[in-house]
Structures are given as C-alpha cells and as structure tokens.
Amino acid sequence: MSYDPPPGCPALRRQIARRAVERGCTVTADDVVTTVGAMEALGLCLRVVAQPGDTVAIESPLYFGLLQLIEGLRIRALEIPCQPSTGMDLDALEEAIALHKIKAVLTLPVVSQPLGASMSDAAKQRLVEMLARRDIPLIEDDIYGELYFGQAMPRPAKAFDEAGLVMLCSSFTKTLAPGYRVGYVMPGRFRDQVEQLKFANSVATPTLPQLAIADFVENGGYEHHLRAMRRKLQAQVEQVSAAIAEHFPAGTRVSCPAGGFVLRVELPPGTSALELHARALAHSISIAPGPIFSAKPRFANCIRMSCGYPWSDLLAHAVRTLGRLAREVAERPGPELG
C-alpha cells in the first residue's frame, strides 16, 4: 500500500512494453511511465513540449476533454481537418507547419474520436517522418488502439518512430474499466522530463490497480477479454447504426468507425445539434453535440452517440425517440434571411 513513484509498477510496465512490441514498437519497460489515466499522460506531454501561448496542431473534430485540457494549459490549438476514413489531413498539416510555428502535433492515428478514423501505415510513417525532419514532437493518443475491428492489429505511429519524438499515451480506461484510472505514456526522448513532472503532478499512480492489471495481462485474461469485447462492440455499433438509418431523418449520415464504440452522426444541414441535445436530455437521453468537438463554431449539425452498452429494448426505444426528436428539429423552419 506504499507509494509507487514514477516511472511506476515494474510488472505493469513490462506487460505494456511487451504488448507495444507486438504492435511494432521498439520499446522496453524502461521506456514506459504509468499515469493516472490517459488524460494525465496527455497533459504531461503537452506541458513538457509546449508553454502557454505556444501553438499545438490538433485533429478536428477532437474529443472535447482534450480541448478543455489544452485550454486549461493556455496553449493555442490549430485545428487540422480529420477525414472520416483516413484520419488527419497530412497535406493540410504540412501547409500549416509551413505557415505557423508549431510546437507539437496531437492526434489519434488509430481509431480517432469522434470519427473513428484510422490512418494507413503509409500515412502514419509519412506523419512521423514529416515531423522528425522538423524536430516537432508527436503526441499520439492511442486510447482506442486495442479496440480495432479489423483482422490485423494496427500499428501505432510510435512503431515508425526512430527519433524518439513520438509520445504514445493510452490507458486501460476504455478496455477494462474507467474506475481503475491507470494509464501510461512512452515519451521517447522526453522520458526524464515526463517522469519528473509526473511526480510533481500526482506523486504516484495507485499501486493495487497496477498490480491487478499487470497480473490480468500476464496470465492471458486481458487478451481473451479484448477479443470478446471487440466482437461485442462491433455488433453494438452495427445495431445502433441500423437503428439510426431506420429512425433518423432522411439525409442523415453515420460514420463507419474502424474500432471503439462511438458514432458520429451528421444530421441534415440546418439541424441544430444543440437543440437536439437539450430535447434529448428532457427524455433522459444523453448525446454529445458536435460544437463541443471544436474550438471554433463548427459541426453544428453533428452529434456523437455511444454504443458502449449492450443492445436492449431500452436502447432501441431511446434511439427511436432520438430519431423522432431529430426529425422534429430538422423540420423546423430556419430563420428568415434579409
């Protein structure tokens, strides 16, 4: 029950490194620092490579919690478009680098959020090499990386890192349970700074959850659990997608995520996601409105829906109700112009 100071539990760091090697990364347990969830890992990386007022390029749309984290650190966010099937637009990123002094890039190359997009290996390699030529760190959020739907295990951008500039962050929050609050980072050449800042930030990561997870991973239970979880999540995503197609207004578009358990739903133009969010809450239905996934007034007609719970009559009723509300909001006349 004593403190487990940075870099964290050796047994867990060995298992994290082993799994990273299986995905193509060249790392050892000494390259891993455990954290209190992925959010602490991402915050540590941002604080190491950027100061208040600096500019960090991010993919857009992006999980609103990361936008809040960046805002809290008083870092400027430069949004780079993210395509639904291919991830961050690397041509747009290259143009942005030529025009702005970018201190780091933050992206989710494998199963982005909320789009669910995944970059090809060629794109990941291009991204890593593009930044390495300019000595720009890449902060890789791999929170959904092990919840892929394909046959082959996807390689993270870290697998193409030869300069130590990729800082891979993840956790067991999405794969096991949020309450464990155990995450990790492979900070590359920034390991010493991250380790020192981790101690100043939270002293240590809780010891017992680290030991429990390490044992679960080592004895094979974790991989068995992941295989079953991927199948269930893919089925749930397909069930919710089918229900949206049946009940939502004509012209609605739904993402086809490469993994994870969230869907991005694009409603017909002019439909207010914020109004739909308010109406849904009145029926005890929780969705995330699109505007909160950008620091700018974007994605006004988009929402994010979770497919994390097993399909049931209650969820089917909720999607039907949400579809009815979406049709009502979509059919409302817009403001007169002139």
Number of alpha carbons in the 13 Å side-chain half-sphere of residue 327: 12
Task: Tell me which amino acid residue 15 is.
Answer: Q
pLDDT given for residue 246 in this prediction:
97
| Residue 20, pLDDT score | 98
Please tell me the predicted confidence (pLDDT) of residue 335: 45
Half-sphere exposure of 128 (CA within 13 A, CB side): 24
Domain ranges of the chain: 10-219, 223-330
Per-residue pLDDT at 11: 98
pLDDT, tens digit, for every residue of 241-294?
Answer: 999 999 999 999 999 999 999 999 999 999 999 999 999 999 999 999 999 999
pLDDT of residue 199: 97
Task: In whole angstroms, give the CA distance from residue 244 to residue 259.
Answer: 18
CB of 118 closer than 8 Å to CB of 258: yes
The whole-number pLDDT of residue 336 equals 39
Question: What is the pLDDT, as a whole number, of residue 304?
Answer: 98
Q: 10-219: what fold?
A: Aspartate Aminotransferase; domain 2 (3.40.640)
Q: What is the 3-state secondary structure (H, E, C) of 225-246?
A: HHHHHHHHHHHHHHHHHHHHHH
pLDDT for 333: 56
How, if at all, do strands 87-88 and 76-83 pair? antiparallel
In the three-class reduction of DSSP (H, G, I as helix; E, B as strand; rest coil), residue 220 is classed as coil
Whether the Cβ atoms of residue 29 and residue 13 lie closer than 8 Å to each other: yes
3-state secondary structure of 129: helix
Report how far apart, in Å, the C-alpha atoms of 232 and of each of 60, 116, 235, 318 are.
Answer: 28, 16, 5, 20
**pLDDT in single tens digits along all 338 residues of the chain:** 788 899 999 999 999 999 999 999 999 999 999 999 999 999 999 999 999 999 999 999 999 999 999 999 999 999 999 999 999 999 999 999 999 999 999 999 999 999 999 999 999 999 999 999 999 999 999 999 999 998 889 999 999 999 999 999 999 999 999 899 999 999 999 999 999 999 999 999 999 999 999 999 999 999 999 999 999 999 999 999 999 999 999 999 999 999 999 999 999 999 999 999 999 999 999 999 999 999 999 999 999 999 999 999 999 999 999 999 999 999 875 543 33
Query: How far is residue 37 CA from its own chain's centroid?
Result: 13
Check residue 337 and give its pLDDT.
Answer: 36
Region 223-330: CATH code? 3.90.1150.10
